[in-house]
Every structure is written in C-alpha cells, then in structure tokens.
Amino acid sequence: MDRMKPLDPQWAWQTFAPSNERPWNRALAAHLYRRAGFGASVEMLDEAVSREPAEMVRQLMAQNFEANEFRETADQLAQTILASGDAKKLSAAWVYRLLLTPTQLLEKATLFWHGHFATSAEKVNDAHMMWDQNRLLRQHALGSFPVLVQSIAQDPAMLIYLDSAINRKAHPNENFARELMELFCLGEGNYSERDVQELARCFTGWEVKNKAFRKNRYQHDTESKSILGSSGDYDGEDGVRVVLKQPFLELFLARKWYRFFISDEPEPSDELLQPLANVFREHDLQIAPALEMLLSSNLFFSEHAIGRKIKSPVELVVGTLRGLSGTANTQVVSSGLLQVGQGLFYPPNVKGWDGGRAWIDSSTLLGRANLIGKILDDDVTRFSGQKLTDYLGDRGITTALEAIEYFEQCLFALPLDDSTKSRLSDTFSVTAAEPERQLRSLLHACSSLPQYQLG
C-alpha cells in the first residue's frame, strides 16, 4: 500500500494558492463541493471560481448554522414525519435536507458525526430519540468537540444503543466507557482495561427513564476513580473531561477527518497528520479551525486527494442529483441507501461505516447502479423543477456528447478518456423520438461507470 512517497507535512497543510500549473477552476471547485458538501451545479461552480479558494472555504465554514427559513421547513417536515413514529420515514426527511440544504458543509459534517457516534434506529427503535440526536449532531457539527462529546454522553438514543440505559453502581456498565475511548476519542491501544472499568464508574447513575436522560444520584458511585493517570471523585462529566485531555485525541480525530475528507488510502503517517492535530488542540478542540485548515490545504487540492475516495452511497446519489439541481422521491432514495449499505439512522454497528473499499461488493455495485437507475426512471425526479431535456437545453446542450462533457464537469472527479466518451455517446445517442428517456439513460450509464464511483 505504501507506494506513496512521504509527503512533506509542511507543504501539505499550507493554504493552497492557485498557480499556472494548478489553476483554480471548475474541476477544483467541484472537488471542494464534493468533499465539503455533496456537489454543486455548474452555475455554482462558476460562482466559486470567481472567488479565491480560501475565501470559498471560509464561506462554507461560516455557514455553520442553517438559515432560519430552511431550518424551519426541514425541522417541521421531520416533526410531521415523527407523528407516524417511523424511523425509516425520518431517514427520508434527512435526505430532503441533504438534497436541498444551502449549508452543505454543515450537513456533511453532521453525516460525519453520525458515522462517528454511530447509533442505529434498528436497536433504539424510537424515531423521536433518533431525531433529537440528529439535531444535537447538527447543532455542534462545526462547533466545540468537548461540548459535542458531553452532549452525546447524555443522549438517550446513544445510551440505549450502547446498552447503557441502566447503569447501577453495583454493576457499572462498561460499554459506553469503552466506546468513548476506543471509538469516539482515543482509539484502541490508548487506554487500558483498568481505565475502562474506572471510567465506567464515573457514569454510574446515568440512565434513560421515560425516554429522557437523568442522573440517579442513589446509583452513582461517589468513590474516587483513577483514569488515564489522574484521579479524583469524578462524575460523568469529569470522566469525559479527563478523556478529552488525552494527547492521542487530536491525532485520532485528524486521522478520521483525513479518511473522510481527503483520501481512503494509503494510511497517512502520524507526522503528516501532526500539524492538523496541533491546530485542533491549539483551538481548544474547536472543530471549525481544523476543518478550515484541512479544506484549504495544498494536500486537499492535490492529486493525493482528488479522485482518491470511493463515494459513499449518500455521496453518490445526493451528489448526482445536486450536480444537476435535482430533486427526487426522498423515500425511494432513503430506502435505496439502506439497501446499498448506508441507511441514514441505520449504521451497521457501533463503529459506523468503514468507508473506502468496504462500500463495494458485488451486490452493492449493481445496487448502486440500480438505485440511480430507479431514481432516474421516476418521473418525479426533476432538475431545477424541469425535465432533464429542458434543464440541459436551457444550457445549450442537445447532443449526447455535449451532455457527457457537461456531466464530466459537474459530476466526475476524474476526466473521462475519449474512448469512453465515444462509447457512451454511441450507445446512448439522443434522437428526436424519446430525448428525455435517452438523456436519463445516458446519465444512468455515466453514473454506473467504475470511475464515477470515485469522488
């Protein structure tokens, strides 16, 4: 795997400055939108190109809360859906947000945290709790990591998912304590079994009653605990604070961000990640400064990042639609996502989605193609409210080849070679008889190509 020659960490994290060799263009702007969000129309790309890359990143970062109007609509939608009590439908309400939110980075970060603090409705079995957790993740997605962790530690859905709804001092439940260190903050090997047992004692008395978090003071172990080298008569919040102080934390998260925002493989070295980790720590574990550095870096805009990730199902489907200002039946999208391995509110286990090559097997590859095919086959699917023919027609595109080149700009991370293009346009030529169907078939074919699975 380690064929990549070591990268210079200093170069890697410097702010990217466009040059003649690497100009700031539609391709780089599309890359930024794909990773810091889900995708953008050609018009949005042109708007981005008219600014500096760093300015664009700052603008994305500044959208760390949703505009009132959209938030109200989307929240109200979710609330209405909750009346039916069905978490599967709630997942459709999230798809609605993913497709239409003006604050893409916030939504992408929310999705990241959903995978990080993985909680599945399959087990929690309560749509309200899942929705509350989702709001919590969105609220802190680009905020303070310590606040996020403290809130998650008292989140009913999380506690139920980790079998920690009851936690008596006679039988401290180690599950949450273990995952807090292993999966949420430090990574395996950076704590001992003894730390798990001691930390678990901090959370005794924390329980979920009537679907709400509460502290049962009669069940809290008030004795002194000794965790990761420090000791005191800690309660749960103190325990979290001790974990957050550990120096492994910033590197652990930097690595996860690298895999989520930059590249699936090869595995980055600690040296490479250290500057990013340092910024995270220096800013008191505020998320935004670290992500801003990551997204405006040389490394992010380099060939080590572009096309170096396998798109998750959400990135694939939402990206395809957003690239063409598309809207679709969100229930078809959400149930399809579940089928190909990324059900929103249904991560496979406590570790969340592994990502990378794990997205792909013989069933998901066909499933991805079939899902996009199903969405495009649906007359409800519209592009800026129009048929695809009219959407492209308004942009002066009528032939298959023109359409392929248009898709290449707003959808593909890597350029298509000429032979692929000509095979595509030969197979899916656009004739007068059924232009809409043919254009949609062409888009379906493009999005089924192996190279399109790279983002």
Partner 1 sequence: MNTPRSLLLPLRAFLLAVVLSGGLLRADSPRLADCSSSELLPQTVVAFAEASHIAQAIETLLDHPLRQRIESLPAYDEVAKSGSLEQFQLGVTAFEASMGKPWQEAIKTLTDGGVTVAADSSSQGIAILIKSSDVDMLQRLRGFLLALRQMGQGKLSAVEQGDYRGFTAYALSKELKLAILDHWLLITNKSDLGKSIIDQYLDRKNESLHSSETFSIARNERDAQASDPAFVSAYVDVATIRSSGAAKALSNEKIDNPVVEVLLGGVLANLRNTSFVTAALQADITGVQLKLSSPHKRDWEPPREYFFGETQHAAAPSLLEVEDRLFAISAHRDLSQMWLRSGDLLSDKANDGIAKADTQLSTFFSGRDFGEDILGALESDVQIVGKAQDFSEVLPRPAIKLPAFALQFQMKTPDETTSELRRVFQSFIGFLNVVGAMNGQPQLDLGMETLGDAKLVTATYVPSRDQRDSMDAPINFNFSPSIAFAGKRIIFSSTTQLARELVSEPEVSDSGNVVSERATRNTDILFNANTLKQVLDDNQSQLVANNMLEKGHDKQAAEAEIGLLLELVGMFKDATFQLDVSDDELLLDVRLHVDGE
Partner 2 sequence: MSHSANSNRRRFLRSSIGGAAAIGVGSVIPDCLVRAVASEGNRDERILVVVQLSGGNDGLNTVVPYADDAYRAARPKLAIPTSDVLKCDDDVGFHPSLSGMHDLLANGQLTVVRGVGYDQPNRSHFESMDIWHTCRRKDESRPDGWIGRFLDTQTNDSGGDVAALHLGREQQPFAIASEKIRVPTMKEMSEFQLQGRDRQSLRSLLNANVATEPNPLAKNASEPNDLLDFLQSSTTSALAASQRVTEAAGSYASDTRYPDTELGQKLRIVAQLIDAGLTTRVYYVQLDGFDTHAQQPATHAILLRQWSDAISTLVRDLDTHGHADRVCVMTFSEFGRRVAENASEGTDHGTAGPMFLCGRGVKAGIFGNRTSLTDLHDGDLKHEIDFRQVYASVLKNWLDTEPLPILGGDYKTLPLFS
Query: Per-residue contact track with partner 1, 194 to 213, x per CB under 8 A?
Result: ----------------x---
Assess 405 for contact with partner 2 (CB under 8 A). Answer: no
- The first and second tokens of residue 280, run together, are 């995270």
Cβ 109 vs Cβ 38: under 8 Å: no
Q: Which helix (H) or strand (E) holds 209?
A: strand 206-209
Assess 370 for contact with partner 1 (CB under 8 A). Answer: no
Region near partner 1 per CB under 8 A, out of 199-207, 300-308, 376-384, 434-442: 376-384
Is 403 buried (19+), middle (13-18) or exposed (0-12) by CB count in 10 A? Answer: buried
Least Å from the CB of residue 381 to partner 1: 8
Q: What is the largest CA-CA distance in the chain?
A: 80
Assess 32 for contact with partner 1 (CB under 8 A). Answer: no
Least Å from the CB of residue 406 to partner 1: 21
How far, in Å, CA of 168 to CA of 143, rounded? 32
Assess 335 for contact with partner 1 (CB under 8 A). Answer: no
Provide φ and ψ at 252, rounded to 5°: -60, -45
**Rule CB under 8 A: which of 138-167 touch partner 2?**
163
Cβ 153 vs Cβ 213: under 8 Å: no
How far, in Å, CA of 317 to CA of 367, rounded? 12
Is 102 buried (19+), middle (13-18) or exposed (0-12) by CB count in 10 A? Answer: exposed
User: Binding partner 2 by CB under 8 A: which of 309, 325, 344, 404?
Assistant: 309
**Rule CB under 8 A: which of 340-359 touch partner 2?**
341, 348-351, 354, 356-358
How far, in Å, CA of 157 to CA of 151, rounded? 11
Q: What is the total count of residues that contact partner 1 (CB under 8 A)?
A: 29
Identity of the residue, 135 or 437, whose beta carbon is nearer to partner 2 in the bound complex: 437
Amino acid making up residue 93: A
How far, in Å, CA of 268 to CA of 259, rounded? 9
User: Binding partner 2 by CB under 8 A: which of 91, 175, 286, 381?
Assistant: 175
Partner that binds at residue 360, options partner 2, partner 1, none, CB closer than 5 to 8 Å by kind? partner 2
> Under the phi-then-psi rule, with left for phi > 0, alpha for psi from -120 to 50, and beta for the rest, what region is 267?
beta
How far, in Å, CA of 104 to CA of 404, rounded? 26
378, β-bridge pairs: none
Assess 168 for contact with partner 2 (CB under 8 A). Answer: no
Assess 136 for contact with partner 2 (CB under 8 A). Answer: no
Is 291 buried (19+), middle (13-18) or exposed (0-12) by CB count in 10 A? Answer: buried
Query: Per-residue contact track with partner 2, 93 to 132, x per CB under 8 A?
Result: -----------------------------x----------
Provide φ and ψ at 227, rounded to 5°: -125, 130
User: Binding partner 1 by CB under 8 A: which of 59, 84, 231, 427?
Assistant: 84
Q: What is the total count of residues that contact partner 2 (CB under 8 A)?
A: 59
**Rule CB under 8 A: which of 256-285 touch partner 2?**
264-265
Partner that binds at residue 146, options partner 1, partner 2, none, CB closer than 5 to 8 Å by kind? none
Give the footprint of partner 1 on this chain (CB under 8 A). 73, 76-77, 79-85, 89, 92-93, 96, 99-100, 125-126, 210, 326-331, 380-382, 385
Give the footprint of partner 2 on this chain (CB under 8 A). 1, 3-4, 122, 163, 171, 174-175, 264-265, 303-304, 307-310, 339, 341, 348-351, 354, 356-358, 360-367, 369-370, 373-374, 377, 414-417, 419-420, 423-424, 427-428, 437, 441, 444-445, 448-451, 453-454
